[in-house]
Structure 1
Amino acid sequence: MENNKTVETLNELLQIINDRIEGFKNIDSKMIESYSGLKEEYDHKLVESYNMRTELTALIEEKGGDPNNTTTIAGGIHRAWLDFKNSISSDQDEISLETVLSGENAAIKAFENALKSGNLCSESSKVVQDQLQELRSSYDKFSQLEKNL
């Protein structure tokens, strides 16, 4: 396995986590006011995302790479679409949860693909696998919240 491939793959995941951070940071305050149970979950997931970013950044730097602290183009387009959708919809809670589920699902797929790629060393695979479990848990949690709305 080539070190450059490991760094490249970890940087792709780092961008996904940066998208996740931006998504949780940009939750509409009106929506949070109408369903207070989500604020605590979003805050928890934001802290979790920062921790994930720290872990990925450390791995990249250990491999001699430069962390890519940007977001993805797809993530930016997705956030813009959601801002528009939120501006014309009256059901902010449902849209917000749909957004989270969509984002978490995309992150899960990216992390699964990274693990299947063969580009990660064993240390990196362990961290990515642990983070994948956190993403799956998050997806399950928000899926349950959506069912309870």
Structure 2
Amino acid sequence: MSTYTEKVSDKLNDLLEKTYDAEKGFKTAAENVENPALKNYFTKKSDERYSFGHALKTEIKSYGGDVDKGGSVTGTAHRVWMDIKDFLSLDSEEAMLEEAIRGERAAVEEYQEALNDMSIPSSTKSLLLNQKKQIENDLSNIKTLEDLR
């Protein structure tokens, strides 16, 4: 594998790791809320990140790269923090929603960083842009869920 394709694969694996973290985080959030609309939202987001991960894996393999298999230590710590917040919070649904919003904002920044990288081919940028737009759309629509509380 050339240095170029290795660099692209590494960047995509970084996003994949964070996608694994988000998928697991949304699953944890769905398990920690009672509100059916929030539970549905978090489950949908977990499924969406699973799909994002599958697309990223396919892209990594197309460059001849090895796919990383797990999430990050930071992601694990974030999920533990969500569980602690749920335990300590009087309004765990609000806490889970706040953490989801924070995580989604961070994801948008991470995608933007990858998109700003000039070494990423246009076909890969298209995939990343579509995923980033989906996250941004969901963030702009999350106000409805905040009103449900």
Q: TM-score, normalised by structure 1?
A: 0.91
Contact in 1 for aligned 2:104/2:139 (Cα 8 Å): yes
Quick one: distance in 1 between partners of 2:32 and 2:51? 27
Contact 1:100/1:142, CA 8 A, preserved across alignment? no
Tell me whether 52-61 or 19-28 shows the greater mean CA deviation: 19-28
CA separation in 2, counterparts of 1:120 and 1:139?
A: 25
Q: Which residue of 1 aligns with 2:39?
A: 39
1:86–1:92 CA contact under 8 A, matched in 2? yes
Q: Which deviations, in whole Å up to 9, do the C-alpha atoms of 1:24-52 show, x marking residues without a partner? A: 11125352x2x111122122212211111
% same residue: 28
Q: Deviations over 1:49-93 (max 9, x none)?
A: 111111000000010001112112221221122211211111011
Unaligned stretches of 5+ in structure 1? none
Q: Which runs of 5+ in 2 are unaligned?
A: none
Give the equivalent residue in structure 2 for 1:21. 23
Question: Which residue of the partner structure matches residue 87 of structure 2?
Answer: 87
Give the structure 2 partner of residue 12 of structure 1. Answer: 14
Q: Counterparts of 1:102-141 in structure 2 under 5 Å?
A: 102-141=102-141
Amino acid at match of 1:93: E
- Which aligned runs of 4 or more in structure 1 are off by greater than 4 angstroms? none
TM-score by length of 2: 0.91
Instruction: Report if the CA contact (8 A) 2:21-2:71 is conserved.
Output: yes
Query: Higher RCO, 1 or 2 (CA under 8 Å, sep at least 6)?
Result: 1
Which AA in structure 2 matches 1:69?
K
Matched with 1:146 is 146
The 5 Å alignment of 1:63-78 reads 63-78=63-78
Count residues in correspondence: 147
Q: CA-atom RMSD, angstroms?
A: 1.6
Aligned residue number for residue 101 of structure 1: 101
Cα distance between partner residues in 2 of 1:30 and 1:85: 10
State the SS of the aligned residue for 2:70: coil
Aligned mates of 2:147, 2:69 — CA distance in 1: 34
Match of 1:59 in 2: 59
